[in-house]
Amino acid sequence: MRKHTWPIRCCFMVLFFSILAVPAMAQKRSAGVRAGISASPPNQFYVGVHVMAGEIVKDFWFRPNAEIGFGNSVTEVGLNGEFVYVMRLPKNDWTPYFGGGPALNITTIHGGAPLNNNTNVGPGFNFLAGIGKTKGLFAEIKVGALDSPEFKFGIGYTFR
């Protein structure tokens, strides 16, 4: 195996086994949409979807998501296998959460003509924190490592 392909294969394996574990989790599933801006790559707008796939243990969720960013002659696709810990606060509609997880990032730099595009695939890791309203509205920030975008701010809605 070439040295530069092992991180990509590891990310694929983590995401694959994470998806296999979903049916074994609790059945409190929900899905949502998200949009935001990215500071790296610069001047990007992104949209995405996520699934609250299952509660692994009390208040600790597997929440995979996919995001696609556009702008600045770059298209960035992120497939994220994230886990979040939800901090339930009594008598409060807003709930903070934090977490992280592995990512597979596909970046295409557009060079004008279709044959001049340069696509890179690489592993990443995201750290995130956010706050969500009981009714489903949320806002979050992400800080990325390796090939993940360095910083993102997004808002979204989880349908319950």
- Residue range 120-144, pLDDT digits in tens: 899 999 999 999 986 789 999 999 9
For the chain, the C-alpha Rg in angstroms (whole number) is 16
Q: What global pTM score does this model have?
A: 0.77
- Residue range 50-61, pLDDT digits in tens: 998 888 999 999
CATH number at residue 54: 2.40.160.20
Predicted local distance difference test score (pLDDT) of residue 26: 43
Mean pLDDT (the chain) is: 84
Sign of CA dihedral 35, 40, 41, 42: positive
- Tell me the average pLDDT across 114-122: 80
Domain that holds residue 80: 3-159
Query: What's the CA gap between 23 and 156, in Å, rounded?
Result: 25
Total count of domains within the chain: 1
